[in-house]
């Protein structure tokens, strides 16, 4: 049964991962074929997207581990107290033990709060880079049209597939950080 649950969870992620990677590469191939100059300018968003994802994912992993460690310590304490409830009651240590358990929960909550802030920073940086790149694409596309490099203004739309591919890669990295981290 556990194997089936694991297989169900992995099968969807594998399909989404293959889709995102294929979309990423196909979008850039199409963009290079249609308008290679603009694609070269817009390819700079890949490291700009990757850096915040890598940094924030590392921080999220650290705080997730801390949070889980605090929950585990609290659960261990609770299990020990429940198994020796007569001794705890006999020595009147209930309040002290409850306080120790609460301390573990407070520490776990703090780690979770930091993780939430990091996720917000990650999403902000991802969307900031994507929308900035869209502005760059419109500006550079207009410059190419004015210079006469692009004779058909419809070619400026070339940036859309490359952004769709980049966005898929971005979503893949942010939602499946545990898959990417090993």
Give pLDDT, residue 1: 60
What DSSP assignment string belongs to 67-83?
HHHHHHHHHHHHHHHHH
First and final C-alpha spacing in the chain: 24
Q: Which residue stretches of the chain have pLDDT < 70? A: 1-3, 5, 9, 153-182
Q: Tens digits of per-residue pLDDT, 57-76?
A: 999 999 999 999 999 999 99
Structurally, at CATH architecture level, domain 2-181 sits in Up-down Bundle (1.20)
List the chain domain ranges.
2-181
Task: Identify whether the C-beta of residue 13 lies closer than 8 Å to the C-beta of residue 176.
Answer: yes
Give pLDDT, residue 157: 56
Output DSSP code: residue 153: G
Give pLDDT, residue 155: 53
Q: Percentage helix, strand, coil, to 5, in the chain?
A: 90, 0, 10
Q: Tens digits of per-residue pLDDT, 156-175?
A: 554 554 455 444 444 444 44
Task: Identify whether the C-beta of residue 178 lies closer than 8 Å to the C-beta of residue 172.
Answer: no
């Amino acid at each position: 049964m556990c194997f089936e649950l694991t297989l169900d969870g992995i099968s969807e992620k594998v399909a989404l991962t293959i889709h995102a990677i294929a979309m990423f590469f196909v979008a850039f191939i199409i963009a290079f074929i249609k308008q290679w100059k603009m694609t070269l300018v817009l390819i700079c968003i890949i490291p700009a997207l990757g850096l915040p994802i890598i940094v924030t994912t590392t921080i999220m992993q650290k705080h997730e581990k801390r949070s889980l460690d605090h929950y585990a310590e609290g659960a261990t304490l609770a299990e020990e107290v429940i198994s020796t409830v007569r001794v705890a009651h006999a020595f009147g240590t209930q309040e002290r033990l409850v306080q120790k358990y609460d301390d573990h929960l407070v520490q776990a909550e703090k780690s979770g709060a930091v993780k939430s802030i990091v996720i917000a920073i990650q999403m902000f940086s991802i969307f900031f880079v994507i929308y900035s790149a869209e502005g760059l694409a419109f500006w550079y596309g207009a410059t190419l049209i004015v210079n006469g490099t692009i004779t058909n203004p419809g070619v400026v739309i070339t940036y859309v597939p490359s952004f769709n591919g980049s966005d898929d890669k971005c979503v893949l990295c942010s939602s499946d950080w545990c898959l990417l981290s090993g």
